[in-house]
Structure 1
């Protein structure tokens, strides 16, 4: 199923003056209702990124968190949530862990990218139909090339074959990786992803392995696509002795922005890419799909970094309330 580009009638598309960058008096005052479905998302900065960027385009956007953890729910709640979003007039939804793959059967249509990646992180509601997209891959690629434009891609190792890993693996192959080795704690999941990618790219370019040390031999770079290192799942996803100075390391975790993996890699002399760039890049793509407007990526990145710095300063105060595990 392929999704066509949003038409001018697409929900949330402001009038021509707004798209052309007209003054505030000419801009649309259309209200947009957006949301994010996932687990443990109370600390997400996505709502603030979207709402702030919307103000620069004269849009009134409310972004609602729909956190499965706060209601004791799981992915089984997805059908009801998706149905409710359609009924309540949501213009779109972002989808995150653990729902990126489970949401697919509930949608009417998939973009080529989402179909290729087997995961959805953005759902656009248009004329009552739910169209699934994936901006994780393009967001990661934008961040990676921005940070390491000259990085070698002869051999790349990726840890993690879940929803985000599916998107990133497709993106790195599109960037030109000659060989991609996927390692996951569930070998069958890594193998399934490798087999799916081999249907879209030459089979010689992708393989699965069960041993990170073996996979990293002769590798140019390491991409980390598991939850390990998040505030609620601290630690390293692999033995730090496997890191070496000639290896670049790209992270997708951004809470915290400077993960244990990045700290260890930097100490070894590796060039690193933090997960914040991907968070911004995927939001840029989602905003474009939701509104039909062209966001200012640099402005969104500056705003994101400001939010991260503000949060770090707040949490460093002696009187700060201990943060929730979520």
Structure 2
């Protein structure tokens, strides 16, 4: 039995359980995956919950909003985690201590390479500097982006991410509202790491009249999979990467960390879509 879970706030709609159970089944493992929602746990405390999980047989847990940064401060990072990446989304409980990882940034890189091959990201404008934006920005750094432009309505948060990237020797700059249109036009890639486009927050985060010269786009939103942003980009002849790719590859990375197994991503994709065909559309 491989006992796993997800710690977060308002996580009832997460699809993580079905992915991890499916991956376990592919590996001949009996997997359970519990939702540990701070909205329904009385007197929730992150360190207390992690300790309870460690003491009650969990092999590990995923951690999501709003606890990724707090978890990073409590847990020894795995070697592959960049020192400046101040959040974890995966915690493994071992006899010699807890280990933290961020499979979002690795998952983004794997998704990008699956979709676009060896093509370099070039100059990329990213909307959103929150938790997923931190991971994708470090993914861009890992992929060798020429320049990472960050825009966030909260300018202080955007500037903080730029400073974090600069400390990690990435070429990054903040883009304010006045310069946003020029930045969109000048970018090779566009990324949405805001909630805009989700079923409950419909719309497109970019001015679609500025589309046409870019090479690729990515939307972290995956409910729905085909967002207004991605549809407009595809209509303009731009290659697209859906948010499902991030969800899928970060999940595979996390399961491999939890279980020690190696997952055939292509086979897992076929199995997942056969079991959950609605995932194609969100």
Q: Indicate how the Cα distance of structure 1 residues 196 and 233 shifts in structure 2: closer, same or farther if over 3 A, else same.
A: same
- Tell me the alpha carbon deviations over residues 164-199 of structure 1, each in whole angstroms, 9 at most, x when there is no partner: 111111111121111111111111111111111112
Provide the rounded CA distance (Å) in 2 between the counterparts of 1:156 and 1:73.
42
SS at match of 1:166: helix
Provide the rounded CA distance (Å) in 1 between the counterparts of 2:198 and 2:277.
17
- Deviation of 1:73 after TM superposition, in Å, equals 7.5
Task: Name the counterpart of 1:207.
Answer: 173
Task: Name the counterpart of 1:3.
Answer: none
Instruction: Give 1:225-236 correspondences, 5 Å limit.
Output: 225-236=193-204
SS at match of 1:116: coil
Task: Name the counterpart of 1:56.
Answer: 26
Provide the rounded CA distance (Å) in 1 between the counterparts of 2:271 and 2:82.
27
| Structure 2: stretches of 5+ with no match in the other structure | none
- Deviation of 1:206 after TM superposition, in Å, equals 1.1
Task: Name the counterpart of 1:134.
Answer: 102
Q: Indicate how the Cα distance of structure 1 residues 98 and 307 shifts in structure 2: closer, same or farther if over 3 A, else same.
A: farther
Q: Return 210-219 or 117-126, whichever deviates more.
A: 210-219
Contact 2:4-2:31 within 8 A present in 1 as well: yes
Q: Return 221-230 or 112-121, whichever deviates more.
A: 112-121
The two structures, once aligned, show a CA RMSD in angstroms of: 2.3
Task: Name the counterpart of 2:146.
Answer: 178
Q: Indicate how the Cα distance of structure 1 residues 306 and 101 shifts in structure 2: closer, same or farther if over 3 A, else same.
A: farther
Q: Indicate how the Cα distance of structure 1 residues 117 and 257 shifts in structure 2: closer, same or farther if over 3 A, else same.
A: same
Alignment of 1:159 with 2:127, yes or no, is: yes
- Tell me the alpha carbon deviations over residues 90-124 of structure 1, each in whole angstroms, 9 at most, x when there is no partner: 110111122211222232x1124153321111111
Task: Name the counterpart of 2:74.
Answer: 106
Q: Indicate how the Cα distance of structure 1 residues 176 and 59 shifts in structure 2: closer, same or farther if over 3 A, else same.
A: same
User: Which of 5, 12, 16 matches 1:42?
Assistant: 12
Task: Name the counterpart of 1:301.
Answer: 269
Q: Indicate how the Cα distance of structure 1 residues 241 and 182 shifts in structure 2: closer, same or farther if over 3 A, else same.
A: same
Provide the rounded CA distance (Å) in 2 between the counterparts of 1:175 and 1:234.
30
- Deviation of 1:66 after TM superposition, in Å, equals 1.7
Provide the rounded CA distance (Å) in 1 between the counterparts of 2:182 and 2:42.
39
- Deviation of 1:254 after TM superposition, in Å, equals 0.9
Contact 1:37-1:93 within 8 A present in 2 as well: yes
Contact 1:94-1:123 within 8 A present in 2 as well: yes
- Tell me the alpha carbon deviations over residues 196-229 of structure 1, each in whole angstroms, 9 at most, x when there is no partner: 1112215xx1111123323223110101112222
User: Which of 145, 152, 157 matches 1:189?
Assistant: 157
How many residues of Structure 1 are paired with residues of Structure 2 in the alignment?
279
- Tell me the alpha carbon deviations over residues 253-277 of structure 1, each in whole angstroms, 9 at most, x when there is no partner: 1111111211221222221110111
User: Which of 229, 244, 261 matches 1:261?
Assistant: 229
Task: Name the counterpart of 2:45.
Answer: 77
Q: Indicate how the Cα distance of structure 1 residues 152 and 87 shifts in structure 2: closer, same or farther if over 3 A, else same.
A: closer
- Deviation of 1:231 after TM superposition, in Å, equals 2.1
Task: Name the counterpart of 2:252.
Answer: 284
